[in-house]
């Protein structure tokens, strides 16, 4: 499921183009009925592919914040934060090869709505990845 910078969706027109130094990411979700959609959520994950030591866990300071699209009642998301890399401090054995991997910032969960595109603005160089989560059939009663 790729994120596009120029997706075609009839409800995309109110969303402005990205400003200088930014990218507009657009996710068009697979169509579902309103009854089906209540069982789904979308996890939005900002990050970038970086060379790591392959041992320590690395996180970015990026996070996603929701913003209202004034006059439309729609929501878009913006990547904020410095994006500085933070890492655990485990000693790396000599000769350990470097590894390219996706390093994520703080993700957020949003409700599934296939009638509107999901629009995210990020600084250039920041990728947006996403996962679709589905609730199981079982519901547990709390006592």
Average pLDDT over residues 72-97: 90
Contact (Cβ atoms closer than 8 angstroms) between residue 26 and residue 3: yes
Higher pLDDT: 100 or 5? It is 100
pLDDT above 70 for 3: no
- The helices-and-strands tally (H runs, E runs) of the chain is 1, 10
Q: Is 25 a domain residue?
A: no
Q: Which of 1-15, 45-59, 100-114 has the lowest mean pLDDT?
A: 1-15
| Strand-strand pairing, 22-27 and 118-123 | antiparallel
Q: Tell me: pLDDT of 1 over 80.
A: no
Q: Is residue 29 part of a domain?
A: no
Which CATH number fits the domain that encloses residue 43? 2.60.40.550
User: At 82, is the pLDDT very low, low, confident or very high (cuts 50, 70, 90)?
Assistant: confident
CB-based contact 134:39 (threshold 8 Å): yes
Any residues with CB less than 8 A from the CB of 34 and at least 6 apart, and which?
none
**Is 58 part of a structural domain of the chain?**
yes
- pLDDT tens digits for 14-70? 999 999 999 999 999 999 999 999 999 999 999 999 999 989 999 999 999 999 999
117 in a structural domain: yes
Does residue 13 fall inside a structural domain?
no
Which three-class secondary structure state does DSSP give residue 36? Answer: helix
Quote the pLDDT of residue 120: 97
Domain range enclosing 83: 35-89+98-134
Of 8 and 43, the structure prediction assigns the larger pLDDT to: 43
**Is the residue at 126 inside a domain?**
yes
Examine residue 114 and state whether it is found in any structural domain, yes or no.
yes
Residue 132 pLDDT > 70: yes
Q: How many domains does the chain have?
A: 1
Q: Is residue 51 part of a domain?
A: yes
What number is the average pLDDT over the span 121-127?
95
């Amino acid at each position: 499921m790729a994120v596009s910078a120029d997706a075609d969706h009839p409800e995309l027109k109110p969303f402005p183009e990205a400003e200088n130094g930014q990218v507009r990411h657009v996710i068009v979700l697979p169509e579902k009925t309103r009854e089906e959609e209540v069982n789904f959520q979308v996890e939005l994950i900002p990050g970038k592919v970086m060379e790591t030591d392959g041992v320590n866990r690395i996180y970015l300071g990026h996070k996603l914040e929701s913003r209202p699209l004034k006059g439309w009642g729609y929501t878009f998301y913006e990547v904020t934060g410095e994006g500085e890399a933070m890492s655990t401090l485990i000693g790396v054995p000599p000769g350990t090869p470097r590894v390219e991997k996706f390093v994520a910032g703080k993700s957020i969960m949003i409700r599934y709505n296939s009638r509107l595109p999901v629009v995210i603005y990020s600084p250039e160089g920041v990728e947006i990845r996403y996962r679709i989560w589905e609730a199981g059939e079982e519901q547990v009663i709390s006592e």
